[in-house]
Amino acid sequence: MKIKILFALTILGAIAAFGIVLNSGKKIQADPKTSPSYIELSFSLPAGYQFTQSSPYQLSCESENPDIVKLSRHCGENFSPLHPPYPIAFRGNPGETNVKLTGVFYYCHQETQMCFYDTFETSFPVVVKNHAPSVISRTWDIQPKRISEP
């Protein structure tokens, strides 16, 4: 009886190994309905400004139409403009909608060494042409409020 069980397990192991060898050359395609798309967000400040280290940056994300662009509930977690691009995952269905981002940014003017924080908003259209995952690169130009000259 033990020999029959051992023989059966050996056969099953050989069949499994043979299946792995047969499938090892095939590329596995991402399933468009389960693979997310991404907005890769980069940031720019005018010359003479820089983002500050170790600041409590904040980001909130909103889609005008979640049926077209459903943003990840994790958007804004571990947000920092210091190591771009910042990925924002979303699931897309064909169509066009606007995405609105609101962020709290901390920055310093290098010449005067004055540091500030402000809330900035941006909105941009997102077009989803099919269900396939895509990557959308976007640069957010942060325009600080003017510093009063002495």
- Rounded to an integer, the average pLDDT of 37-63 is 95
**Is the pLDDT higher at 33 or at 100?**
100
Percent of the chain with pLDDT over 70: 73
- Mapping DSSP onto H, E and C, the string for the chain reads CHHHHHHHHHHHHHHHHHHHHHHCCCCCCCCCCCCCEEEEEEEECCCCEEECCCCCCEEEEEECCCCCEEECCCCCCCCCCCCCCEEEEEEECCEEEEEEEEEEEEEEECCCCEEEEEEEEEEEEEEECCCCCCEEEEEEECCCCCCCCC
**What is the per-residue pLDDT for 144?**
87
**Is the pLDDT higher at 132 or at 43?**
43
Does this model's pTM top 0.75? Answer: no
Let me know if domain 37-141 sits in CATH 2.60.40.
yes
